[in-house]
A = this chain, B = another copy of it.
């Protein structure tokens, strides 16, 4: 249960005007600020921020920051932000401290719901322009070496592979896989084929291919589905249905380059009847 005593149906415009008044002239009316925002829920506070911005062309959060100070300012600042944005700010402050306070990060990751956590990640990216595409080249280089050593020692269920593949950003992981290829002559998936029946190796190769180049991966799924003895209709349907509205055109181009025959042609050859008609329609056949 909440402790907040929120007012029923306050006027966002009236609140914005009262806050403006509390911030103007000599001295700030802290009591007025507390009596307003201390009794508004998250939605109401958001509407106040929007009304304030519209009326005064000024950011209420910044105005309060400049009017107030100390722990009071910090508490008002955290309170007036959207919950996800607030978590993003608190996480950033916590990890930038001389001695980072990881408890804040743990609280957010373990206590927020999956939905809330996703919103926090998005807010963090927006606010700190943290670019998911940024790459640490030195890290890519050292982790490519770690992967190579692990594979050379055939310690294939080694936790290091798992850690690298499951925790790095896609961009970072792709840089690592490129380093691997540059330093060792061939792609990592070529090194992960010791035992074709090993389910762990198969899963690892599939994950690396999916992360590295989804379209190239799907081209191969189609090639296997169409060109092996016995068409794999499930795979055929899956790729066409899930990619027809996304990037099936690029997959078609890759297929043509790789197989010197169009995907539509092979699909037409390996299927029949209404199923064939439907797949070709999704592949972009003009009626």
Contact = CB atoms under 8 A, between A and B. Distances in A.
Interface string A68-101: 1011101110110001001100100000000001
A273 interface: yes
B282 A102 contact: no
A110 interface: yes
A104 B238 contact: yes
A210 B274 CA distance: 55
Interface stretch (A9-17, A38-46, A142-150, A181-189): A38-46
Contacts of A249: 1-3
Nearest to A102: B203
Q: How many copies does the complex hold?
A: 2
Given A102-B203, A110-B211, A203-B106, A4 B244 contact: yes
A278 interface: yes
Interface in A151-207: 159, 199, 202-203, 206-207
Contact of A278 (B72, B237, B242): B72
Nearest to A68: B274
- Of the candidates A42, A199, A245, the one having the most CB atoms from chain B within 10 angstroms of its own CB is A245
Interface string A267-287: 000010111011101111011
15 contacts: A1-B248, A1-B250, A2-B246, A3-B244, A3-B248, A3-B283, A34-B274, A34-B277, A38-B281, A71-B237, A75-B240, A109-B207, A110-B207, A110-B211, A111-B217
Given A34-B281, A74-B234, 9 more contacts: A1-B249, A2-B247, A4-B282, A71-B233, A74-B233, A78-B241, A107-B206, A107-B217, A110-B211
What 3 A-B pairs come out closest when comparing CB atoms?
Answer: A38-B281, A110-B210, A3-B284
